[in-house]
Structure 1
């Protein structure tokens, strides 16, 4: 019986120690000893254990401990505070808060706030890099399938085009404004400035962005949009 009491007291004492915190000052916000998404709030010298939203972590960079800030996990240097609350998931969200890649399309990512996902898509030719958390050229993102890089466009073989060297331009098969640039055999999708479309050059593998009226088949690409007004606005 005495042995049981000793063990119980030891376990109870450890639990209390983990859930108690002596405030260094009357007011402030202090990182938890082992958890990155928990922190201590001190008010009039009384400590209260707080937990960031699921997918957020406590930013402990304020040396004065006066800032209460939970930020995305990837923005916080947790150091030895390695513990986290278990993930709470919703469709497209690995946690309630955070930025997550799409499950199927490498150029799509989701910004989740309290479990509500907002869809974002990288510009043509780019894809979402899961490590850098930015849009990069699709051929530089390992998760992209071959058909997702420049929509599967294959550059001409070396020497196939005359007088283009390792650089060439090619029209998109469906969209007048888009085109592909091939550099050292790697295709990347580009888009002409708004108000212009891609015009195939006189030589294979060449072309430039021109006014739609000068490109046969693309004259009505912008429909009823006033292109002159757009140019005055700086587009």
Structure 2
């Protein structure tokens, strides 16, 4: 049932043409469907907004709110939330982990994780270097790894590489004191170099302690999946 102001708006709205989809004058997640010159007020899914960018008004498209230019259409339906979803539809950051985000569709949440060293940026809605994401706590950047103090490593300048303490494939790069976590290409592991702060990705057989890193892994399948 329509609220009184919506009933009035419905009575006042006149279809510009026999057929089309037109934005609501106040709400970004409502729109008018005109069929045979009869207007019907429609509402997008909770977390979606009506995309009014079609100049001919022939497209019925509800998209994520952050993808739609609402302009003066500032009103939205109240949020309906489910676990990990602030609204039924949308992309949302994880409450506890910097590198995890959730894609929600009709209240069903799909979990995604950024690549090593990256964190999910809530504003840009992409994975970025963890140290560039304000919401990411310092201890979460590069798994809590801290770069050596200036001058602690000789001949390294402002750049150095360091092995991950627990994972043979991962390593850290320190650039001007900022740590970033990287991963070697599939099939290789990180080998510490002869000098402090150096190293490269090499065949596991050439890295003591990491010879069996891929022992129980199907490398062909991982490569097909893009790992």
The TM-score, its normalising length taken from structure 1, stands at 0.90
Describe the SS at the equivalent of 1:150.
Answer: helix
Q: Deviations over 1:117-155 (max 9, x none)?
A: 111110000000000000000000111112210001000
Q: What is the SS of the residue equivalent to 2:120? A: strand
Give me the whole-angstrom Cα distance separating, in 2, the residues matched to 1:111 and 1:96.
Answer: 10
Task: Check whether the contact 1:38–1:49 (CA below 8 A) recurs between aligned residues.
Answer: yes
What is the alpha-carbon distance in structure 1 between the residues aligned to residue 223 and residue 90 of structure 2?
Answer: 38
1:18 aligns to 2:9 (yes or no): yes
Which of the residues 56, 68, 74 maps onto 1:64? 56
Q: Max radius of gyration: which structure?
A: 1
Between the two proteins, the alignment pairs up a number of residues equal to: 223
Following superposition, the deviation at residue 227 of structure 1 comes to 5.5
Match of 2:201 in 1: 209
1:38 aligns with 2:30: yes
Alignment partner of 1:139: what SS?
Answer: helix
Give the alignment of 1:86-165 within 5 angstroms: 86-165=78-157
Change (3 A) 1:220 1:144: same
Aligned-pair distance for 1:15?
A: 5.4
**1:163-178 correspondence runs (5 A):** 163-178=155-170
Closer, same or farther: CA 228–210 of 1 in aligned 2, 3 Å = farther
Q: CA deviation at 1:17?
A: 2.9
Quick one: structure 1 residues 197 and 104, their matched pair in 2 at CA, closer, same or farther if it must change by over 3 Å? same
Question: SS in structure 1 opposite 2:141?
Answer: helix
Within 2, Cα distance between the matches of 1:232 and 1:104? 31
Quickly say closer, same or farther: Cα 1:76–1:44, change in 2 above 3 A: same
Partner of 2:73: 81
Structure 1 unpaired stretches of 5+: 1-11
For residue 234 of structure 1, report the CA deviation from its aligned partner. 9.5
Q: CA RMSD in A?
A: 2.0
Partners of 1:179 and 1:189 within 8 A in 2 = yes
Deviation at 1:16, TM superposition (A): 3.8
